Amino acid sequence: MGILENKSNARLFYKYLSKVYDQVNPFIWNEEMRDESLSMLDIDEDDRVLDVGCGTGFATEGLLEHSDNVYALDQSVHQLQKAWQKLGKHDPVSFTRGDAERLPFQTDSFDVVWSSGSIEYWPNPILALREIRRITKPGGQVLIVGPNYPESTVFQKLADAIMLFYDREEADRMFEEAGYVDVRHREMGPSYDPDIAITSVAKVPEE
């Protein structure tokens, strides 16, 4: 387990990163990548949509362009405060402080669940994916963006020491173990590293 997969370490990390997050983030996760990820989903404007690990609300802003019923969750109050400054604390987004492994929502609550830049900090990604499946309606869509596993052995060792990195094969394994179907993936990234991220879309099985 990488050092940032410890929840207390991750909260401390984001306490300080939140101050510069919006300046740093575009070099890793930009609007073009966000829009490409959004194009992989079929979102109706009345769908109930949740952003898990919303951070400062960058992806949340994109989701608001597709749905009028957006919710967002993050474990870092410092990140949430930045999101509130952009979008307001209660409207148009309903924000909640919480943990991806213990989501404070009822079963079958959402049509779409999105999570970008969060899975790499989850100590137990299978547990969190199962929690997301629990709160997503049968037939609903789940999209996860995480860091693609580097090809270099040196960078692989560095990545493993910090947080979760994974490839398509590992993503397939995680989603299958968590009970999803129709899993598909797309690598994407900024021009200097076009495969830095892996976006996975899956469905919750119909009852």
CATH number of the domain encompassing residue 75: 3.40.50.150
19 confidence band (pLDDT: 50, 70, 90)? low
Looking at residue 147, its pLDDT comes to 87
Q: Mean pLDDT lowest for which of 124-133, 138-147, 159-168, 184-193?
A: 159-168
Q: What is the pTM of this model?
A: 0.87
Is the pLDDT confidence value at 169 over 70?
yes
Q: Between vectors from CA 117 to CA 84 and to CA 47, what angle results, nearest 5°? A: 65
Is the pLDDT confidence value at 26 over 60?
yes
Is the pLDDT confidence value at 159 over 70?
no
Can you name the residues that pair with 195 across neighbouring β-strands?
A: none
For tokens 């990604």, the residue is: 125
Looking at residue 75, its pLDDT comes to 92
Tally of domains in the chain: 1
- Per DSSP, the residues of 32-66 read HHHHHHHTTS---TT--EEEET-TTSHHHHHHHTT
Domain boundaries, position 128? 3-203
Are 51 and 60 contacting, i.e. CB atoms less than 8 angstroms apart? yes
Is the pLDDT confidence value at 16 over 90?
no
